[in-house]
Amino acid sequence: MPALKHPLLRHRRIGYGLAALVIITSVLLALDGILPPPLDRARQTSTLVLDAQGRMLRAFTTPPGVWRLSARSDEVDPLYLRMLLAYEDQRFELHPGVDPLAVVRALGQWCSQGRIVSGASTLTMQAARLLEPHPRTMSGKFGEMLRALQLEQRYRKAEILDFYLTLAPYGGNLEGVRAAALAWFGKEPTRLTPSEAALLVVLPQAPSRLRPDRFPERARAARDKVLLRMAQLAILSEQQVIEARQELLPTHLRSLPFLAPHLAERLRTTQPATVIHRTFIERGLQHTLETLARQQQSTLELNSSLAILVVANRDRRVLAYVGASDFHDSRRAGQVDLVRAVRSPGSTLKPLVYGLGFDDLLIHPETLIEDVPTRFGDYSPTNFRNTYAGQLTVREALQQSLNIPAVAILEQVGPARVAARLREVGLPLHWSKAHPQPGLPLVLGGVGMTLEELVTLYVGFANGGLIAPLWFSPTDPAGSEQRLLTETACWYLGEILRSAPVPQNVVGPASVARPRVIAHKTGTSYGFRDAWALGYDADYTVGVWVGRPDGSPSPGYYGRNTAAPLLFRVFGLLPEPAGQPVAPPPDAVLRVQREQLPERLRYFRTRPARETVNAPPLTLTFPVAGSTVELPERDGVWAELPLSAKGGVKPLHWLVNGRPLAAAPWRREAFWQPDGAGSARITVLDQVGQAASAEVWISRGE
C-alpha cells in the first residue's frame, strides 16, 4: 500500500507546485497591470527651444529645478555606450533585468567576507531606481529587482537604456548624459573623447563625491580606473589610455546654451504643455546679433536697450529675435521683451500713409507738394528741425521724412481709415489717453505699435502689400494673407525708400560688408523716447528699436544716428538676395516725368498757415470721428444725417466721400442723405483753406 501511495503524493506535489506557480504568475501579472512602472520622472524633462537645424537655443529646468534633458542611445557617442555597458553591465543584452550570475557572485562575496564587495545592479535595475527612487535597503533592492523584471517585459533594451541616459545623476542639478556633456564639456554627447566618456561612465556612481570641479583627484582616479578597465577589455588601446589619462578634467560647470531667451520664454508661456519648441532661428545669426547688441550698449545712453527682428520675406519666418540688449542686465530691464513692447512709432507709419495716397490717386512720386507752415484745424505740426523745404516732390518729401506733407496727405486719406485698414489686416493701433481716437498726429507717432507689428507691416511692403502674421515656429497656425496696399503703391514706396540717403555713419566696410539695395525708413518718437529703423530688400526685412525701456527720453539719440547704423550692420551680416535685387514694376506703374502726369496728379495743394493766421480754427462738431451713426431707413430711403461745424471763415463747403454736397455755404450746418450703410468720410472746408474731416460708420437704426 505505501508503495502505491508514493507516486500519487509525487503527482499531487507537482500539481500543488504548478498551481502555486500559476497563482504567483497571476498575482505578478495582476500587480503589473495595477502598478505599472512609474515613468513620470522620465517624462518630466526640461523644456527645450531649438533652432532651425534642431540645435538647442535654450533649455528650462524642470519644476524641481533640475536640468534633465531627454537622451536616446542613438544620439550619444557609440564609444561611450560600449564603455558604459562594459563597465556597468556586460550581460545587459542577455539577462531579463536581473543578472543571476551577478547576484550569485555578490551573495558569495558577502557570505565569505561579511560585507558587500561588488553589487549586482544591472543597468535595468539602475533605471528602475532612477524612475522610482527609494532607500538602499534589502526591501528596496528586492522591489528594484521586481521593477527591473517588469521593465524588461514592457520595453525594449534600447528604451530601458534611454531611461538611464535621461535620468542618471552627474553632479549638482544635472541629470542625463546630454545635460552632463553640455555642462561639463560644452558640447553634445554625440562625439566624446575616451577621457570624457570615461568620466561620464563613472560620475553617476557617486555624483557628489566625484565632481571634477570640487574633487579633482577623486574624479581623476575614478576616470583612470574606467580607462584601465577598458584597456583590459580591449575596448581601448594602451596608447588611447595613455593619451586619455593625460587629458585635463573640466574645472567648472559651463552654462547650457542660452540664445533667443525672449522668444524661448514667449513660446514656453504660450504653449506650456509643449516640451520641444522648434523655431526658424538661424543660430549663428542669432549669436552674432546678440553679441552685437551687447557691444552696442556702450554707445547708448545709460539704462538704454535695443531690440532687433530679422524676417525672411518669402514665408515670413523669423530668423533672429533679440528682445533686449542684455537679458541679464536688470538696469536695462533686460528680461522685458522689447520686440513686443508698445512704443510710439515716430515717422515709421509715413510710408503706409503715402502708399494709401498712391492707391487713392491723390499723389504720385513726382507730384509736387508744399512743405510750409500749415494749420490743419487746431493742429499745427512742425518738422523735426523746425525748418521747411518749400515746394518739392512727394518722393523727396518721404525721403526726407518731412512732417507737413505727411500730415497733409493723411488729412485727405483719413486717419480713421488708416486705423481701420490696419485693424482689418491684424495690426490694430494702440491708443493713448491723450489721443484715444484716430487723428492727424497718427502719422507722426501719436499712436502705439510694437516692433513686431512694424516689421510685419514692412514685410507686407516687401511682399507687394500682402499682410500676414510672422512665423515663429512650425507649429504656428498659418495666417491668411490680406491686402493692405496694391503692388503698384508698394513698388513706388520701395523705389523711394531704396534711394533715400544713407546716414554718413553707416557708410564703409565696418558697417556694411557688401553693397546691397535696401529700402529703409527711420523714425523718432516725441521727446527722443524711441529710435527706429526699418528696412527690407528682396529677401529680408529687418527692424531695429533703440531707447529706454521705461520710456524716459534720450536726448540726441534718434532713428537716423542711432538705429539706422545698426540696421545696416545687420543687413551686412545677411546673405545677398538670391534673385533680382529689385522686382520689375507692375503694369499700372506710371514711370513718367511730372509734366506727363494727369493734371490732378501734378500738384498736391497744401495751404500755408499765413493764410489762416487770423481765422478761428475750423472743427467738425458732428458727427464725431470714428463713431457709428444709426439712421432710420424705410423702403430703401435713408433719413438725413445732420452735419455741423464750428469756427472757420465762411463760406463753408462740404464734401462726403470726396463729392461736393449741396448746402447753404453761409451756414455751419448741412444735411446729407446716405444711399446705404457703410463708411463715410465727411470733410468741411472754409474760405481760407482750413479743413476738418471725420470718418464714420453709417448703420441702419430704428
Helices (H), 238-383: 238-246, 261-270, 283-296, 350-359
Contact 301, 548 (CB under 8 A): yes
Identified catalytic residue from 347, 401, 473, 554: 347
CA distance 676 to 164: 72
How far, in whole angstroms, is CA 193 from its chain's centroid?
A: 36
**DSSP letter, residue 640:** P
Q: What are phi and psi of 412, to 5 degrees?
A: -90, -35
3-class SS of residue 633? strand
Strand arrangement, sheet containing 390-393: 390-393, 368-371, 603-604
CA distance 627 to 696: 5
Instruction: Evaluate the CA torsion angle 457, 462, 466, 467 in order and state its sign.
Output: negative
Q: How many CB atoms lie within 10 A of CB 433?
A: 5
CA distance 381 to 359: 25
Q: Residues near 54 by Cβ (< 8 Å), separated by ≥ 6?
A: 278
CA distance 249 to 217: 10
Contact 521, 347 (CB under 8 A): yes
Q: Parallel, antiparallel, or unpaired for β 691-701 and 628-634? A: parallel
CA distance 292 to 655: 53
Identified catalytic residue from 46, 88, 290, 695: 88
Q: Parallel, antiparallel, or unpaired for β 691-701 and 678-685? A: antiparallel
Question: Cell numbers at residue 181, please?
Answer: 556633456
Nearest-5° angle of CA 444, CA 447, CA 452?
A: 100
Nearest Cα neighbor of 122 from 103, 150, 142 is 103
3-class SS of residue 16? helix
Q: How many CB atoms lie within 10 A of CB 533?
A: 27
Q: Residues near 387 by Cβ (< 8 Å), separated by ≥ 6?
A: none
What Rg, from alpha-carbon coordinates, does the chain have?
37
Nearest Cα neighbor of 41 from 106, 131, 149, 141 is 131
CA distance 451 to 549: 13
Task: Give me the helix-helix angle, 123-131 and 138-154, nearest 10°.
Answer: 100
CA distance 360 to 353: 11
Give how far Cα 674 sits from Cα of 360, 662, 671, Å.
Answer: 22, 13, 10
Q: Is 347 a catalytic residue?
A: yes
* Backbone conformation region of residue 678, classed left if phi is above 0, alpha if psi is from -120 to 50, else beta: left
* Backbone conformation region of residue 562, classed left if phi is above 0, alpha if psi is from -120 to 50, else beta: alpha
Catalytic residues: 88, 347
